[in-house]
Amino acid sequence: MIQISSLLWKAVILGAFFLWPGSTPGIKEFPQAEYDFVIIGAGTAGSVVARRLVEGTNNSVLIIEAGGEPSWISSIPLLSPSLQMTSADWGYKTVTQARAMWGLNDQQAAWPRGKVLGGSSSIYYLIHTWGAKQDFNDWEKKKGCTDWSFQNVLPFFQKSEAFTSRKKQTGHRGYKGPLHVSEFDASQSPVAKGFLESARDAGLDIGDLNGELELGAMPCQSNIHQGKRWTGFQAYLKPVLGLPNLDVVIETVATRLIFEGKRATAVEILKIPTGDVQHVRARKEIILSLGTVGSPHLLLLSGIGPQKDLESLKIPVVASIPAVGQGLLDQLNVPMYFHLSRPASITTSKVRSLGQMWNYFVKGKGVLAESGIEALLRAPMSQSSLDPALFLMLFNMGSVNADIFAKIANFKDDAFRTSFPDSHNDSKEGFIILASCLHARSRGEIYLTSSDPSVAPVIDPHYLEEDYDVKCTIQAMKLAARLAKSEPLRRLGVKLHLPDYSECSQYNQTMRDPRYLECWARTGGITGYHPMSTCRMGSDDNPDSVVDSKLRVRGVKGLRIVDGSVFPSQTSGPPNAAIVMVAERAAEFIMEDAVSDT
């Protein structure tokens, strides 16, 4: 294999940059004074809402984004992790966690969120999962979200996606939407094939976890199209950028909402490069799509939230809603490393080989054209249960580059080294299974310490504070270890690596000791990148909710929230596809209300 040096590799990548198509049309220097609709945040959800509100209509729409344009690197699927801690990331950190993140500096988790057109969907890992049917049925039945059952949301999943399957299409998916979904070709990867066969040996079905199976395993489905990232920005926003009724402003933050009585009528914005402050009015509605951190942050700055907190910061109260910023949910991932005795994984040397470069830049194929996540698995807590509880993701990465992976998670050196053995070896063969608990019960919070919009909010996820979360995470870890021991994976010379954390030295390093496993989860676990639920949707009599079933903010008029913050509970898998679905629906609510207004 011909491999090129790291320096030359960077030079080639830089060269590709100059050959890449030029910058984005349709971006305005300054907005007008007034629009029908003002959308704040051009992330996953904001991009969808903007597209649906402007295409084929006479609505005038402004979308405001704090970040800039996505870099060309963001289009290369395998390089997604390298986008964190760049200007495309807000670069949040949680506060020190008492019961988790022991292997991270100051026990603080790095908490990436996209700050760029496309938002977190411009830096995310591209996995496309709807969630289980039961998740949405629970939204309706248990959380009081009227008309959010699986039957209600299915048409919007289908509307959003363009699924290309390797097998015969069964017709339950969407095939003509803007969001491309491709399926990993497991026949090309002995590790993915072994993983899926092991899952089958363990009694799980292999099929489509999106809309078909509640439990089971499948080759990963990703928002990749012709070898490139294909998400919020590329799929939804870019195609409408030139339309005369859509204005986009970037590098501009919303700092406050302005109310006339109880009606939200305008947004105060700050243009970051120049410091200019301006007010933009919305004739019909303001839509908050700032994400799980941004939306509660702006509500609190604008006087909507727990009354006591607002008063202590001297923010005039517009509406007292105790649930704003509360009830934060996140999934915690435990990366488990497995050695491989055969060359079957992605390694830094392979990525840098001339063959792979040629494959990608000329043919749009090869390891760079994939996210590295090759298979997904959803299982119950025990054989007697039918509820999705455990989640495994196969990340077929053998050499775990410390410069990228230690940095983005905020790992301490020693904890990183023992989590990922031989990380200095660019040819190291192995893979990672990310083990997590889908419906963790620990609830966190986001709150302010200052009324100054430039001060980041405090993020406290309270990871692993509930016993259930520990039990469930350990079950997921045990399942991963069991799969690796079954014949289809063992054939490849797979061996689980047990990390030797100084934090856990009092326990025997064995899968049989639950205290060791608990300590491992508390030390090696990192964020699953899926924080949700800080502005939950719920029924009108539910004091725990911030928005109603049409996503309208309680107690005020002219204001809706459309993003991951409204999820009443976690979905059974990474949430991006479900956020797109919510935004597709919200666009219809918004149009219906605008018509009935006039």
Ligand X SMILES: Cc1cc2nc3c(=O)[nH]c(=O)nc-3n(C[C@H](O)[C@H](O)[C@H](O)COP(=O)(O)OP(=O)(O)OC[C@H]3O[C@@H](n4cnc5c(N)ncnc54)[C@H](O)[C@@H]3O)c2cc1C
By C-alpha distance, which of 170, 51, 71 is closest to 123? 71
Tell whether residue 429 is a contact of ligand NAG (CB under 6 A): yes
Amino acid residing at 102: W
Tell whether residue 564 is a contact of ligand X (CB under 6 A): yes
Q: Which does 42 bind (CB under 5 to 8 A by kind): ligand NAG, ligand X, none?
A: ligand X
Tell whether residue 290 is a contact of ligand X (CB under 6 A): yes
Q: Which of 44, 423 has the CB closer to ligand X?
A: 44
By C-alpha distance, which of 254, 233, 285 is closest to 114? 233
Which segment (96-104, 133-141, 419-427, 458-466) binds ligand NAG by CB under 6 A? Answer: 419-427
Tell whether residue 503 is a contact of ligand NAG (CB under 6 A): no
Q: Which of 169, 505 has the CB closer to ligand NAG?
A: 505
Give 495-517 as a 3 state SS string: EECCCCCHHHCCCCCCCCCHHHH
CB atoms under 10 Å from CB of 386, counted, come to 9
Are 581 and 130 within 8 A, CB to CB? Answer: yes
- The size of the interface with ligand X (CB under 6 A), counted in residues, is 41
Q: Which does 57 bind (CB under 5 to 8 A by kind): ligand X, ligand NAG, none?
A: ligand NAG
Contact with ligand NAG (CB under 6 A) among 263, 508, 555, 588? 508
Instruction: Using the structure block, give the residue that is written with the tokens 């956020």.
Output: 579
By C-alpha distance, which of 574, 567, 571 is closest to 544? 567
Q: Which of 445, 513 has the CB closer to ligand NAG?
A: 513
Instruction: Using the structure block, give the residue that is written with the tokens 């009585």.
Output: 261
Which segment (35-43, 141-149, 159-167, 480-488) binds ligand X by CB under 6 A? Answer: 35-43
Tell whether residue 529 is a contact of ligand X (CB under 6 A): yes
Tell whether residue 580 is a contact of ligand X (CB under 6 A): no
Q: Which does 64 bind (CB under 5 to 8 A by kind): ligand X, ligand NAG, none?
A: ligand X
Q: Which of 254, 477 has the CB closer to ligand NAG?
A: 477
Cα dist from 176 to 79, 289, 575, whole Å? 28, 25, 21
Tell whether residue 57 is a contact of ligand NAG (CB under 6 A): yes
Give the list of residues 6+ apart from residue 148 with CB closer than 8 angstroms, or none: 136, 139, 140, 537, 549
Tell whether residue 58 is a contact of ligand NAG (CB under 6 A): yes
For the record, the structure tokens of 538 come out as 């719920």
CB atoms under 10 Å from CB of 577, counted, come to 24
Least distance in angstroms from the C-beta of 344 to ligand NAG: 11
Q: Which does 134 bind (CB under 5 to 8 A by kind): ligand X, ligand NAG, none?
A: none
| Binders of ligand X in range 45-74 (CB under 6 A) | 45-46, 64-67
Cα dist from 533 to 5, 348, 366, 374, 422, whole Å? 45, 37, 37, 28, 38
Tell whether residue 121 is a contact of ligand X (CB under 6 A): yes
H or E segment to which residue 295 belongs: helix 291-301
Give the list of residues 6+ apart from residue 557 with CB closer than 8 angstroms, or none: 262, 263, 264
Contact with ligand X (CB under 6 A) among 131, 177, 291, 524? 291
Q: Which residues would be at the binding site for ligand X (CB under 6 A)?
A: 40-46, 64-67, 84, 112-115, 119-121, 123-127, 253-254, 289-292, 294, 298, 529-530, 563-564, 574-577, 579
Residues that bind ligand NAG (CB under 6 A): 56-58, 422, 425, 427-429, 507-508, 513
